[in-house]
Structure 1
Amino acid sequence: YGIDLVEEQDYGTVALADPAYHTAFVYGNQIVLPPSSSVMLHYGGDHIGSEAQYRKGTLYFYNNTVRLRAQGTVNGAFLFRLSTTDETAQVWNNVFTFDPGITYPAMRTSQEVDVGYTAGGILNLGVNWITAGWADSDPWHPVPGQLNGSQNMITGTTPPVDLTTLVPLANGQAVGKAQAQLPQVAAYPVSYETDAVTYIAQPRPTTMDLGAVEH
């Protein structure tokens, strides 16, 4: 995984009583997965039978730039693994690129869960850019749960960012396309970005491109 946000394993009573355990904010990141990795983000929990300890909350995933590079024997690459329908993801203002060697670029992949739970999560899509030809899942493993908002996605055959720096290309499909931020993330604004040369944080304009940085 690029990011693995799963259940606690030592202090269950304390974690479940903490509201922060049930909400996650992932934003402003440049994420490049190695060719050996096929799933970008896992949210919920790992262990079947421990579903009562899962996150059971909402992941807010916004203004990130993601490049998936899975190659060789890995024919599919997946953006999200939401453990159960007790987990929800709100996903907007991101750029998702899949390298050409990926046969099945997909939004979701599933996991085994105990009786009484439904895998797949609830994934709500706002405006994002994604490589054309993407699907909800690979052809042989349909994912239960819900995928909503597919009509909001912007697609293209050419990445709208430089794949080395991840900076949006001038006049590309990422420039100026960001939607308004959801009110639930007002306390976590996208105020800074990382300079592509020095990697030092600098202020980011409020009129935004899709992804983690401005063009």
Structure 2
Amino acid sequence: SITRPKTRLYGNVLIEPDGAGNSQMVHYGGDSGDSGDSGNESIYRKGTLYFYHNTVVSTRDGNTTLVRLSTNDEHADIRNNILYATAGGDYLAILNRAGIAELRNNWISAGWVPAHGSLSGSLNDQDNLVGTEPGFANAAAQDFSLAQGSPAVDEAVSLVTAALSQPVLRQYVKHARSEIRSQSGQPDLGAFERCPQSECAMLFDNGFE
């Protein structure tokens, strides 16, 4: 049997600014000639991208695509993320055209589309939350931690086995730093865990600092 390559992308804050040249935030599989392969799909990755507990923010006025999978031999398991487009969900596509994707238990801007054009692959959409605002603490200051009352709090589900080997143990601290990602109740969606001060203090006192 053939073992499919596994790639894990998790715990990141990914920002797509307005005016950026490429509207695709993640590209997985292979390039057509960009790296000397001349579009030889036989040497593409043909694996699965596990994309979990990321906070994705697009401030583009135009279209944004979350993941470009090169062929239908590339798969993506996308869960427990926050996927937010300030222009509105109808400007946010999950796939470019090809690929097989499982989209489960994310918070996504309402009105999102599977692809901006025709979809030659497939997208399985299950148990996702939609809305207009994910409840960031201060989006204008690029503080994408979760405010009290955010719909993303306590909404994460269990990861698939292939992702469990790389759990999300730390979270981003601006700039170029990180801290322990504490847990308060059910894990939150996205790259940050909201932890009330009293509960965080208890966790720190027990050695999770």
Q: Under TM normalisation by the shorter chain, which class is it?
A: 0.7 to 0.9
Q: Deviations over 1:93-121 (max 9, x none)?
A: 000000127862211113xxxxxxxxx11
Q: 2:119 maps to what in 1?
A: 143
1:192 aligns with 2:165: no
Distance in 2 separating the partners of 1:205 and 1:68? 27
Letter in structure 2 aligned against 1:44: G
Q: Secondary structure of 2:145's match?
A: coil
Q: 2:136 aligns with which of 152, 157, 161?
A: 161
SS at match of 1:166: strand
Which residue in 2 is equivalent to 1:212?
191
Question: 2:46 corresponds to which letter in structure 1?
Answer: K
Q: Please, which moves more after superposition, 156-165 or 184-193?
A: 156-165
Secondary structure, counterpart of 1:52 in structure 2: helix
In the alignment, which residue of structure 2 is the partner of 1:90?
A: 77
TM-score (norm 2): 0.79
Residue 52 of structure 2 is matched in structure 1 by 62
**Structure-2 change in CA distance of 1:34 and 1:46 (3 Å):** same
Q: Distance in 1 between matches of 2:90 and 2:122?
A: 23
* Residues 1:39 and 2:14 aligned together: no
Which of 25, 29, 52 does residue 8 from structure 2 map onto?
25
Residue by residue over 1:140-179, the C-alpha shift from the partner in whole angstroms, topping out at 9 and shown as x without a partner, is x21211101x232100012332322110121111000000
**Residues 102 and 89 of structure 1, relative CA distance in 2, 3 Å threshold:** closer
**1:171 maps to which residue?**
149
Does residue 76 of the first structure (1) align with residue 66 of the second (2)? no
Query: How far did 1:196 drift?
Result: 5.4
Change beyond 3 A, Cα 1:213–1:196: farther
| Cα displacement (A) at 1:45 | 0.8
Per-residue deviation, residues 65-124 of structure 1 (Å, max 9, x unmatched): 0001223xxx311111111111000010000000127862211113xxxxxxxxx11000
**Structure-2 change in CA distance of 1:158 and 1:136 (3 Å):** same
- Give yes or no for contact 2:90–2:113 (8 Å, CA) kept in 1: no
Q: Closer, same or farther in 2 for the Cα pair 1:91/1:103, shift >3 Å?
A: closer
Stretches of structure 1 lacking an aligned partner (at least 5 in a row): 1-16, 111-119
How far the C-alpha of 1:194 sits from its partner, in A, is: 2.2
Alpha-carbon separation, structure 2, partners of 1:135 and 1:69? 17
Q: Is the 8 A contact 2:60 2:87 kept in 1?
A: no
Give the residue type in structure 2 aligned to 1:212. A
Q: Which amino acid aligns with 2:52?
A: Y
Number of residue pairs matched by the alignment: 182
Quick check: 1:52 aligned with 2:27? Answer: no
* Whole-Å separation in 2 of the counterparts to 1:179 and 1:203: 16
Deviation at 1:39, TM superposition (A): 1.1
The residue type equivalent to 1:68 in the other structure is S
3-state secondary structure, aligned to 2:177: coil
**Cα 1:133/1:203, change in 2 over 3 Å:** closer
Matches of 2:90 and 2:8 in 1, distance apart? Answer: 30
Q: Does the residue aligned with 1:185 lie in a helix, a strand or coil?
A: helix
Shift of 1:201: 2.2
- Which amino acid is 1:97 matched to? Y
